[in-house]
Amino acid sequence: MQSLQKITSKFIPLRIENVDTDQIIPARFLKATTKDGFGKNLFRDWRYENDDESKPKADFVLNQKQYSGEILVAAKNFGCGSSREHAAWSIQDYGFKVVVSSFFADIFKNNALNNGVLPVTVTDAFLQQIFAQGADDTLSVDLEAQTITIDATGATEKFDINSYKKTCMLNGYDDIDYLLNMKPEIEAYEKANQ
């Protein structure tokens, strides 16, 4: 897993609530057997007319050239619906390192963390402040300090992450390394609960 400490970047504002994982990556792209190459199909049906890459939808934010960056900012309840981790893979493969929202669905949040994509939960008011910024403005996310800052205004908010997951993210460790080292304890648990 990729580690992440600090990032300052422009952001892509996605002013849509309840973005479900079927929109992030439609089911027809789940036939893959590897984790690679999902980025090109991220938000596929919002991005293109009739699934045609030569016909990008002008009103969709990923197609608007003024917006770019490694931070995606979305309205509340981002990542609801299906547990497909392909959603996190497509966001990561597209080039996002951080997703900001006022509310994340549980499974998506775990999937993002397990793939080195940091979900940052902010208050509704702070989210509106971010959406009010221009396309050239940047956000800074500092995982060690657990802060997100709107650089143009200096407005800052703290965000939550448990210290175990924070350590994993900062160092690029994953849960499986941890669990593989726990085998004796797991075997002892099994014996005691047979």
Partner 1 sequence: MGKTLFEKIWDKHVVKQIEDGPSVVYIDKHFIHEVTSPQAFSGIEKRGAQLFRPQQIVATADHNVPTMHQELPIKDALSKFQVDTLIENCKKHGVELYGLGHKYQGIVHVIGPELGITQPGMTIVCGDSHTSTHGAFGSIAFGIGTSEVEMVFASQCIMQSKPKVMRINIDGALKNGVVSKDIILYIIALISASGATGYFVEYAGSAIRALSMEARMTICNMSIEMGARGGMIAPDQTTFDYIKGRLFAPQGADWDKKLATWKELYTDADAKFDIEINIKAEDIDPMITYGTNPGMGLSVRGTLPTIESFSDATEKQNYEKALKYMGLTAGQSLLGMPVQNVFIGSCTNSRIEDFRLVASIIKGKQKDPNIKTLIVPGSQEVAKQIVAEGLDKIFAAAGVEIRQAGCSACLGMNEDKIPAGEYCISTSNRNFEGRQGAGARTLLASPLTAAAALLTGKITDIRDII
Residues in contact with partner 1 by the rule CB under 8 A: 15-18, 20, 22-23, 26-28, 30-35, 45, 50-51, 75-77, 80-86, 88, 103, 105-107, 110-111, 114-115, 162-165, 174-176, 178-180, 182-183, 185-186, 189-190, 193
Q: Which is closer to partner 1, CB of 26 or CB of 137?
A: 26
The residues with which 104 forms a beta bridge, in sequence order, are 78
What's the closest the beta carbon of residue 8 comes to partner 1, in angstroms?
26
Q: Which is closer to partner 1, CB of 6 or CB of 164?
A: 164
Which residue has 């990923």 as its token pair?
62
Burial of 151 per CB tally in 10 Å (0-12, 13-18, 19+): middle
Structure token pair of residue 145:
């300090």
What's the closest the beta carbon of residue 140 comes to partner 1, in angstroms?
24
The answer to whether the CB of 103 falls within 8 A of the CB of 121 is yes
What's the closest the beta carbon of residue 70 comes to partner 1, in angstroms?
21
The answer to whether the CB of 48 falls within 8 A of the CB of 41 is no
